[in-house]
């Protein structure tokens, strides 16, 4: 793993993982110039070590890595970190894109990409308000599900549920608007950013993760907390 490439007074920690060393260093340099503390890694095992040691806020993760591929790295990282994972995929590589999201990635950007666009995407992530929470939000209760927005915790039947940042933010947005149907585009605008461009099925993947995790508690049916309103979007189930 390479040494720090950082500017004084960093506003966030970013780990860039790519086996193309010149590309990784270039991205880290741009991030450094933008004020972030950036480190690079070039293989799967080094990436896991770096996530544990520097605790990044964001990991930019290429899928094609030696040692462990990016999908496996993401899957293992999700066992101990909720850092935001922005994966790099080849243009049109739909199967790997969906596999990366299924492994726990939050977002993606396709190669070839503009480094300035990537830096801007990182900035949006680090600046966005957590689930648009302001002040002390009361916990929201939906049957056995309790969503503590201010405490950033979801509990089912009293037991905490391990969610990624993006999964929790989607859940919090829905919980704070319990009677409103939100379209994919509205959820993207709130949770990602109004300027986000890509496949809106990204929302479906994260909703599927949420339903599965919330449905793992004894006596809870998978999917019962979030309704699909066919042809429109999603809302919290009125149960």
Whether residues 123 and 140 share a domain: the answer is no
pLDDT for residue 216: 61
CATH number for the domain spanning 20: value is: 3.40.50.2300
Region at 115 (left for phi over 0; alpha for psi -120 to 50; beta for the rest) = alpha
Write down which residue in 127, 145, 170 finishes a domain: 127
Going 79 to 81 to 85 to 90, the CA torsion angle's sign is: negative
Residue pLDDT, tens place only, 132-185? 444 456 788 888 899 998 888 899 988 999 888 889 999 999 998 888 999 999
- Whether residue 145 sits in one domain with residue 205: yes
- CA angle 35/121/125 to nearest 5° reads 80
Clarify whether residues 158 and 44 are in a common domain. Answer: no
pLDDT at 4: 45
Which residue among 71, 96, 127 closes a domain? 127
What pLDDT is attached to residue 147? 92
Note the pLDDT tens digit of each residue in 185-224.
999 988 888 877 777 888 998 999 899 888 865 545 545 7
Average pLDDT over residues 114-132: 78
**pLDDT (0 to 100) of residue 8:** 39
User: In this structure, how many other beta carbons lie within 10 angstroms of the beta carbon of residue 21?
Assistant: 11
Same domain, yes or no: 19 and 121: yes
Per-residue confidence (pLDDT) for residue 131, from 0 to 100: 47
Share of the chain above pLDDT 90, in %: 45
Contact 86/74 with Cβ under 8 angstroms?
no
How many domains in the chain? 2
Residue 67 binned pLDDT confidence (cut-offs 50, 70, 90): very high
Residues 100 and 171 in one domain: no
pLDDT tens-place string over residues 4-27: 444 334 579 999 999 999 999 999
Predicted local distance difference test score (pLDDT) of residue 39? 96
Dihedral, CA of residue 7, residue 11, residue 13 and residue 17, to nearest 10? -70
pLDDT at residue 14, rounded to an integer: 97
The yes-or-no verdict on residue 231 having pLDDT over 90 is: no
Asked whether residue 129 carries a pLDDT value surpassing 60, the answer given is no
Q: Which of 109, 127, 145 is the last residue of a domain?
A: 127
**Are 102 and 150 in a shared domain?**
no
Whether residues 212 and 225 share a domain: the answer is: yes
Asked if 120 and 204 sit in the same domain, the reply is: no
Residues 12 and 120 in one domain: yes
Residues 51 and 110 in one domain: yes
Q: Are residues 119 and 139 in the same domain?
A: no
* Alpha carbons 72 and 11: distance in angstroms, whole number: 28
Give 3-state DSSP helix, strand, coil % of the chain, rounded to 5.
40, 20, 40
CATH number at residue 210: 1.10.10.10
Residues 29 and 112 in one domain: yes
Determine the structural domain holding residue 220 and report its residue range: 130-236
């Amino acid at each position: 793993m390479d040494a720090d490439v950082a500017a004084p007074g960093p506003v966030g920690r970013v780990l860039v993982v790519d086996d193309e060393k010149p590309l990784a260093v270039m991205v880290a340099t741009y991030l450094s110039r933008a004020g972030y503390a950036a480190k690079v890694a070039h293989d799967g095992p080094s990436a896991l070590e770096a996530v544990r040691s520097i605790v990044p806020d964001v990991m930019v993760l290429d899928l094609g890595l030696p040692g462990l591929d990016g999908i496996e790295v993401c899957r293992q990282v999700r066992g101990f970190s909720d850092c935001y994972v922005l994966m790099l995929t080849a243009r049109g590589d739909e199967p790997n894109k969906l596999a990366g999201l299924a492994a726990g990635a939050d977002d993606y950007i396709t190669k070839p990409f503009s480094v300035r666009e990537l830096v801007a995407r990182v900035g949006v992530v680090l600046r966005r308000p957590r689930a648009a929470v302001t002040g002390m939000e009361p916990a929201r209760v939906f049957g056995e599900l309790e969503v503590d927005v201010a405490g950033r915790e979801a509990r089912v039947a009293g037991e905490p549920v391990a969610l990624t940042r993006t999964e929790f933010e989607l859940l919090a947005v829905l919980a704070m608007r319990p009677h409103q149907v939100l379209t994919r585009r509205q959820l993207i605008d709130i949770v990602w950013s109004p300027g986000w461009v890509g496949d809106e099925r990204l929302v479906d993947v994260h909703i599927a993760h949420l339903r599965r995790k919330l449905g793992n508690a004894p006596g809870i049916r998978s999917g019962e907390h979030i309704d699909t309103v066919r042809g429109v979007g999603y809302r919290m189930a009125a149960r």
